[in-house]
Structure 1
Amino acid sequence: MPSRSPWTCVLWDVDGTIVDASDGILRRLTICLEHFGKRPPTRAELVHWIGPPMYESFQVNVGMTPEESTEAVAFYRRLGKADGYTTGARLFPGIAELITDVAAAGIPQATASSKPEVQVVALMDHFDLSPSLTAIVGATPDERTLSAKSDIVAEALRRLHAAGVDISRPVLVGDRHHDVEGGAERGVPVIFVRWGFSWPHESEGAQAVVDDVDRLRALLLVREHAPEPAGTAAMGADG
């Protein structure tokens, strides 16, 4: 049966929502922080790193100055470029199929990620999701000019609108409080997914919270029922 959506377009966070890149992030963070004489995070502490812009995270998590953070981000990104942006990354189960099905239902989609856009493009190409996306939006290379989630959401909506998309009823799918807050600043409701890297309280303010892709699918796509054949109701009434 065909599907429709209560939304005119869907925005997607990437890390923790579409892609699990935690193995590569942990490895690069370990190398980077040891290089700068800082203690690297444990896997459990990755929750503090995945989601916010790295420029912000180096300051908040290890007390770097803005200047030190700029240097650390540059070093970290050099490691990522040497690794290859897709090394160690994997999709969360069922998410690629859902994105493909949303596209097949005629609902325009875009990424709205705090990762540098060049990395988001590489990941979407790698996982063959680019054909399902009208726009691929991420942070600017310096992760400062365009990095706040609210600004990235606004840019994603701007590009969709420029492509002729109806942006009157957008929704953002994400896994961190930055997504909820950034969406709220732009008047975009958020569906919060719990399979990413977050604390339980981070979903506060989201329009809906889901634990699995099936539940997310039910919120993004609604099955249209085929009309009953002519005379069916009358036949039932006649017994």
Structure 2
Amino acid sequence: MSAGPVDARPVLLFDVDGTVVDSAPGMVRSLQAAMAAVGLEPAAEGQLRADLGPPPAVMLAGVGVPESLINDAVIAYRAHYRQVGMDRAEAFAGVPEALGGLCAGYRLATATMKLIDTATEFLARHGLRDHFEVVGGARNGVFDKAAIIAETRVALGSPAAENMIMIGDRHSDISGGHSNGLRTIAVSWGYGSRAELEASEPDVIIDRPDQLAEAATRLLQSATA
């Protein structure tokens, strides 16, 4: 039996937290619950919101959870997030419509720091799973954005780097895209500051989801010029 035709459409890789969905309320609540579960005073919401996006262990260490308690705190975080935090989120205004419009001309996938199973369930709960051909994310022991992008690319059939764009709201999204030879779009509506985004040197920064299609078209044309 011969293989089916290769899908030659360009690929758009999306970060999830802070790019597709505003998951901050649930993440903050779950981080606070995790700290309480290991006997620590929960950090203030403002402190936790200052660095959303990295793996839970990194976020918890960043607010003072000692190394000896990190593993138990991460377990508590994930349990609380699945039970409570996952539902305390909503897609950013305009993002579902933008994804729906992009599906005709692009292959869409995620490259998120969430565990793959968590990301799949999370997107399904918020009515977004069907937009993405592949849900790429972290696995236990692999929480590096560049590695996640590389693995997602393989899952998509290893399309050419010049036919792919990474889209995200934090420096790790942009640097991870660059490490894989991808063009990058930074979005300003997420959790990274404008200064952080500019310092990461994306190909373009956009301020609204309805700018995604034009920005992607322009970058892909420049890749083949």
TM-score category of the 2 structures, normalised to the smaller one: 0.7 to 0.9
Query: 1: CA distance between counterparts of 2:202 and 2:94?
Result: 22
Are 1:159 and 2:161 matched, yes or no?
A: no
Higher strand share: 2
1:182 equivalenced with 2:176 (yes/no): yes
Q: Note the 1:53-92 alignment, pairs <5 A.
A: 53-65=55-67, 67-83=68-84, 86-92=86-92
1:93 aligned counterpart, secondary structure: coil
Alignment correspondent of 2:101: 101
8 Å CA contact 1:47, 1:198 repeated in 2: no
Counterpart position of 1:217: 213
What's the counterpart of residue 169 of structure 1? 163
TM-score (norm 1): 0.79
Structure 1: 5+ residue runs without aligned partners? 1-6, 223-239
Whether the 8 Å CA contact 2:43–2:63 is kept in 1: the answer is: no
Matched, 1:117 2:116: yes
Partner of 2:134: 135
Deviation at 1:27, TM superposition (A): 1.4
Match of 1:40 in 2: 42
Deviations 1:35-55 (A, max 9, x none): 334343333323344211112
Deviations, residues 144-190 of structure 1 (Å, cap 9, x unaligned):
x221111111111111116xx55542111100111122112212222
- Whether the aligned pair in 1 keeps the contact of 2:17 and 2:53 (CA below 8 Å) is yes
Structure ID, larger Rg: 1
- 1:28-75 Cα distance to aligned partner (Å, 9 max, x none): 11221123343433333233442111122222331521x421221111
TM-score (structure 2 length as normaliser): 0.84
Alpha-carbon separation, structure 2, partners of 1:87 and 1:153: 26
The one of the two structures with greater contact order (alpha-carbon pairs below 8 A, sep at least 6) is 1
1:97 positional shift: 1.1
| 1:74 maps to amino acid | I
The amino acid of 1:220's aligned partner reads A
Tell me what 2:18 maps to. 16
In 2 relative to 1, CA 167–180 (structure 1 residues): closer, same or farther, beyond 3 Å?
A: closer
Counterparts in 2 of 1:86 and 1:63: CA distance versus 1, 3 Å: closer
Aligned Cα RMSD in Å? Answer: 2.0
The 1:77/1:63 distance shift into structure 2, 3 A limit, reads: closer
* Match of residue 194 from structure 2: 200
Q: 1:199 to 1:47 in 2, by over 3 A?
A: farther
Distance in 1 between residues matched to 2:191 and 2:52, nearest whole Å: 7
Deviation, structure 1 residue 81: 2.4
Match in the other structure for 2:4: none
Structure 1 SS opposite 2:36: helix
Distance (whole Å) between structure 1 residues aligned to residue 148 and residue 15 of structure 2 = 10
